[in-house]
Structure 1
């Protein structure tokens, strides 16, 4: 596309939508026109984008007429509106889980499998935040030697449950400090019949349990990794845990490679990989932490060490901002790649 794209943002008033707006300004993302869309409840709100005021409109199928690229923040509305937008000629880049495992829809992390973008038929899916953060650390290792096995435990911030998750953490902590009771309503999931306090607690459940006793969140990491890496033979065992952190996820990862790797090889590969940052100096107590990775673009990788038992095993600790790289940034990077390669 020789001209600047006509862009629509669906979910403009939510956390991911607001992150899109911040990134437009930070990355000097150029567009010919911009349409901000949200629910009927949010329609009419005024938002500033790159120094210009825009009025949020109610999202309808006809909203996507004359749109080149539509950035969807996620949610159940994607199932209805993404096909409508694609039918009208827009390329939809969607943050919901609706289309991720659809064989007709590419699932893309631009630093890892940008070639899949060209296979789209109007919709491109953004992976789950936990999957993105994990694979940004593991792809440089995989490029050194194929990964046979992954054992991962996630430590996921409450912002993964939306603004309501953050509010509940703060309200619970405030109530606890005053010696007051607080009835949790959001975690592990607002739709479930039982809820647990997250302040001063860990909840080893994100989303619902499936028939195999793994949660939906955990199985997303398995299935999405296989699809993105084009390697269904990787053995993956995930445990997803919600922790009382406001923003930015962390993950403890064990990988087993086909060939033995040195710590130095792994560190060099991560250091050289775009979008990953090596933060590993244990002698000076330097390692990735959510407070340090919040609002940051790169995924931080540290605590890299050989496994004590398996000569082909490597252990590492990773942290990344799931609203940014785990959602809005990855989506915008897909759009930027398409613009740069004249794919819109």
Structure 2
């Protein structure tokens, strides 16, 4: 026996509500783009006497402010201008006003009589810029007696023509006048050139950080000393004076060598040395014919045995 099925209207009701909700949402999003929510705006002058209720609710009120330019400002009363202020005192005839001293404006008092107070001291001295101290002059070198023993100094560095530094101490050559690095000399034509730097360079090239023997005191305090130094069998001070890179002390051991260097115009007593590089193309032949004495000599290479002339292998001897 078949049962009768009742028809439900729930699907129709919920479907209608969904369609209605969708239509409302679409209208809410689309309507502003077509001016549905636009309202009329009326600009109302604040000084206008006619104001409607509708315009007061939906209008924009423009306020007007009264502003007086400095040129049109109301003039002060002449009686008030004539009365001097208690803070200002009228200068005497022929004297400059209080805010000027010696024809110049005073920084502490201006034309209105206001006085500037002195600046307050800083909260801390850490941020103040300190004046750099001048370098302290080096103490003079102590002369070493001739009875002291010679000591070996490794890898000396020439800081000037006649001054060495090795193992943390300074040594000056005895019997010469050291040429400062910043000294400049002039040639016969009046050209200036840095002879002090050139003298140091020449001394470095001759020394080449080779170990020297210097006469040093037994009780070494590390202070600068003036002594005699030898590089092999050659006196370092004598080499500088003989080549004109230092001046001999008048009446000293190297006085005669210094006089010869001056007469020959060597070193600092001559012209500016030519420090330009040689042209390798033009002097290539001379360089091969006269190689530098400092260039290492090439060892002879073993030659390969020369091939025998004739047939190889040799033909058998005739019977």
- Superposition TM-score, scaled by structure 1 size: 0.18
Higher strand share: 1
Which of structures 1 and 2 has the larger relative contact order (alpha carbons within 8 angstroms, sep 6+)?
1
Which structure has more helix as a fraction of its residues? 1
